[in-house]
Structure 1
Amino acid sequence: MTPDPTPEKTRPITALPDIHRLRARFVAISWRDLAVSFGPALVFSLAALWLAVWLVQPAPPNTISISAGPKGSSFHDAAEKYAQILARNGITLKVLASEGSLDNVRRLADGKQAVDLALVQSGISSELDKEGLVSLGGMFYAPISVLYRGKEMHKLSDFRKSRIAIGREGSGARVLALALLKANGIEPGGSASLIAYDGEDAAQALVDGEIDVAMLTGDSATGPTMRKLFRTPGIRLLDFAQADAYTRRFLYLQKLVLPTGVFDLGKNLPAHPIRLISPTVELVARDTLHPALSDLLIEAAREVHGKAGLMQNAGQFPSATAHEFPLSDDATRYYASGKGFLYRHLPFWLASLLDRALVVLVPIIVILIPAFRLVPSLYSWRVKSRIYRWYGALIEIERVALVNPTDEEKTELGARLDQIEEAVNRMKMPLAYADQFYVLREHIVFVRRRLTGS
């Protein structure tokens, strides 16, 4: 058979859709909408981070200084023990010798002085500037010891015509001695001679007979000096018969009792109980002291002063006792609940680091969780709003189409509908919202049919 010479009919070729243009219309995610949704939460979080960093305490310093008393005094000895304990935690405590409590307060109140702490005898700073100074609590007693020659006495007023060593300028012993003597009618320029001897000088002058009375206390007497005087024949320690009255008149004083034989059981020294009066020595700091160091210092003081002694019971010191200086907030918290969890279970340096990190992280986490939970909802609202905004225009066109518009109005509405369709077709849409995009396009067709009546 001869093949049919007629060529096979050519099939019409249907134009394929522009796949690239279609792909460009849909995206996996709308980065612009995501940025707009995520941006406020990010800015808010950064602001919270900046605020937390600004408010958080810096790391505690590795070196601090304390103004103590004269070398060899109970003040200076206590400060040296604090330094040894703080060194275990990597903190260097510089112990500065001073003239005594008065000098210590002046140093601490002077912002130009490189002093962070001071041991201060209560009752000596009523006329000094105490602004910005706080107490970490009472550390120990510093009883005033009135040693004298002659017949047995029981009142300070018995020394109205005596030569009395009241301590050097700058010492707490001098301030306290002047206050107590004044209450007994003894003042500078009167019948008594008030001499600026203290410590070893006062003790030697009393032994040599150059003075009749020596008034010594914690920051003006060393242990060896006091033991020397107690054992010197002819020298007596005043038994304050009016001790209770002093504690009522001077609220910073406490009544103490030395038991019989407490100094020497063999020689029975003293031979009878002796009543004493004593101020409390406080550890005073600037109110800028780091909270972690506050806890560490009170812990050191507990180790040094917490044992039983001649004048105190076990666990009596340190205490939340404060007289002329307000107890710091950190000390108040410590005495109420002790050290924080981290400081109880971790080394000091690590606890300090974690403590500061938590102060920054916890507020941020609290803010970030709700902030970022809102991001998906905000993102969805942003995407859908681009779709929903065209429905207002469609409803307006449809309402006009329902009231029998003129041919001219139909032409105008058709042009507006073309513009809407063109704008919608140019719109980029995340794939997750493709269904709503196509529903919008169907509604455009629906309105067009209502307009043309087809």
Structure 2
Amino acid sequence: MKRHRPPPPHILRDHAHSAWRDLALTSVPVALFCALVVALVVWLVNPSPPRAITISAGPRDSAFMAMAEAYRTILARNGVKLNVIESDGSVQNLQRLLDPKQHVDVGFVQGGVVDGKDVGSLMSLGSVAYLPMVVFYRGTGLSQLSQLEGKRIAIGREGSGTRLLSLNLLHANGIDPGGDTTLLPLDGLQAATQLVSGNADAAMLSGDSTTRALMLRLLAIPGISVMSLDESTAYTRLFPYLEDIELPPGVLDLSRRLPPETIHLVGPTVEIVARDTLHPAISDLLIEAATEVNGAPGLLQRAGEFPNTEMHDFRISEDATRYYRSGKSFLYRSLPFWLASVADRLIVLLLPLAVLVIPALRTIPALYSWRVRSRIYRYYGALIAIERDALKHTSEKERRQLVEDLDEIERSLNTLHMPLAYADAFYVLREHIGFVRGQLNANEPMTQ
């Protein structure tokens, strides 16, 4: 019975492109893996800064709007567009930031308007200004809010931060809506006008209503006084978001020494509040703008007092903490904003490259070596089969068939493009082919 011998394998008769094919088959999967890792890092870890962001500011012609416009000019220097939208003030700004349907990234929010809301998704970039509560009243000698009970008090329009703060302070003094005290929904110039005309007994002014010009006009009217709060320190203990603010003698008008003595006020600070998805580079730009706009000395503050990281209703972002501690990074100090952004992202990529990509790249030589040697091993598989059959053959016809198979292997080997690094294995294989051929020739007389 004829013995079955597996035929010689079809050993790549066309080896013209075997070297680059091996290189492609080993390097392309690794390159795709590396590209995927890099893409995931860029997308998830360090996306590029947006070209435009939106800030919810305040009413038209308000201090909030003026600050936002100044910020817009500064951000534009770095190629970032700041879209400024009007609002009713801090309360609406906070509502917009908390509403995911509102495309608002940043807003000005005064302390004390959170009112139990969950603000875990928001962060503060720092406080940028005081927002004092100044109480003007008809008469003299008042120093406590409780002394306003039973009077007509302008406490700010509905939905405003001034109204919310006024209600909180009056409530702490036992004055609530529905009692003997009349609470008027008036603020600003309208409240001041009603106070002067006698239609209101007191006006609680805050924010844009506490300008130097308006306070000087009110103080110049006989019978109108400003309240210096004796319990200002107590308010800051009871309401952690409040600050004890002083108007020193002469700060409004040195020539007339107005006010004639120190006025003790209380008020919250205004914070730049952002969603926690704000890009770190944009955070740096906003704080840089706040430093330029809000860092100057003013009626209520010393130079460099703002912006700062005093915590109130919102947690300070890690990026803001880093900026206040060490300033802008070397890249952003030395390069244009967008070039620094690209360089910063490339540096961040070094970690995944070091941890995953570099080890993956080191597998390419091993995979390439395995492919080259596996081709040689296939030749050895066919050669061993011929050698085994050479020991078992019984006829000249079978020997000649083995010789033809060996010739086919050698012809295929002659077309093989072998990298120089593996030339030793190549020539060893040729020696072994010669060894098997010698065995076949040595057995030739036995088959005659």
Distance 1:297 1:423 in 2: 73
Instruction: Judge conservation of contact 2:49–2:282 (CA < 8 Å) in 1.
Output: no
Q: Does 1:254 align with 2:243?
A: yes
Q: Where do 1:121-160 residues align within 5 Å?
A: 121-128=110-117, 130=119, 132-160=121-149
Tell me which amino acid in the other structure corresponds to 2:374: S
2:6 counterpart residue number? none
Could you tell me how far apart the structure 1 residues matched to 2:184 and 2:399 are?
Answer: 112
Deviation string for 1:285-332 (max 9, x for gaps)?
A: 233333322211111110111123332232221112332222233323
Deviation of 1:215 (Å): 0.9
Gaps of 5+ in 2: 1-12, 444-448
CA contact (8 A) 2:386 2:406 kept: no
2-structure distance, mates of 1:99, 1:43: 52
Asked which structure has the greater CA Rg, the reply is 1
Distance 1:262 1:195 in 2: 30
CA distance in 1: counterparts of 2:297 and 2:340, whole angstroms: 31
- Of the three residues 64, 67, 73, the one matched with 1:84 is 73
Q: Which amino acid aligns with 1:156?
A: L
Task: Give the counterpart of 1:226 among 215, 222, 233.
Answer: 215
Matched AA of 2:153: I
Q: Which one of 51, 56, 64 corresponds to residue 61 of structure 1? A: 51
TM-score where L is the length of structure 2? 0.83
Distance verdict in 2 for CA 1:257–1:412, change over 3 Å: farther
Q: Which amino acid in structure 2 is aligned with residue 142 of structure 1?
A: L
Distance 2:80 2:411 in 1: 71
Task: Give 1:71 shift.
Answer: 3.4
Q: 1:207 to 1:413 in 2, by over 3 A?
A: farther
Is residue 417–residue 444 contact of structure 1 (8 Å, CA) maintained in 2? no
Query: What one-letter code is carried by the residue in structure 2 that aligns with 1:304?
Result: V
State how many pairs are aligned. 427
Of the structure 1 ranges 222-231 and 411-420, higher mean CA displacement relative to structure 2 is found in 411-420
**Structural mapping, 1:25-40, within 5 Å:** 30-40=19-29
**Partner Cα separation in structure 2 for residue 211 and residue 123 of structure 1:** 26
C-alpha displacement of 1:45: 2.8
Q: Distance in 2 between matches of 1:334 and 1:191?
A: 51
Q: Please name the residue that 2:300 is paired with.
A: 311
Q: Give the Cα separation in 2 of the matches to 1:349 and 1:437.
A: 54
Q: Distance in 2 between matches of 1:110 and 1:447?
A: 82
Q: Sort the Cα spacing of 1:234 and 1:53 in 2 relative to 1 into closer, same or farther, 3 A.
A: same
Amino acid at match of 2:310: T
- Structure 1 residues 424, 239: CA separation in 2 closer, same or farther (over 3 Å shift)? farther
**Secondary structure, counterpart of 2:109 in structure 1:** strand
Amino acid of the structure 1 residue aligned with 2:230 = A
TM-score where L is the length of structure 1: 0.82
Aligned Cα root-mean-square deviation (Å): 3.4
Shift of 1:127: 3.7
Measured at CA, do residues 25 and 289 of structure 1 come closer, stay the same or move farther in structure 2, by a change above 3 Å?
closer
Give yes or no for the alignment of 1:186 onto 2:175: yes
- Runs of 5+ in structure 1 lacking a partner? 1-23
Indicate conservation of the 8 Å contact 2:243/2:268, yes or no: yes
| Residues in 1 aligned to 2:307 and 2:403: alpha-carbon distance in whole angstroms | 86
What displacement does 1:147 show?
1.3
Matched residue, 1:422:
408
Map residues 181-220 of structure 1 onto 2, 5 A cutoff: 181-220=170-209
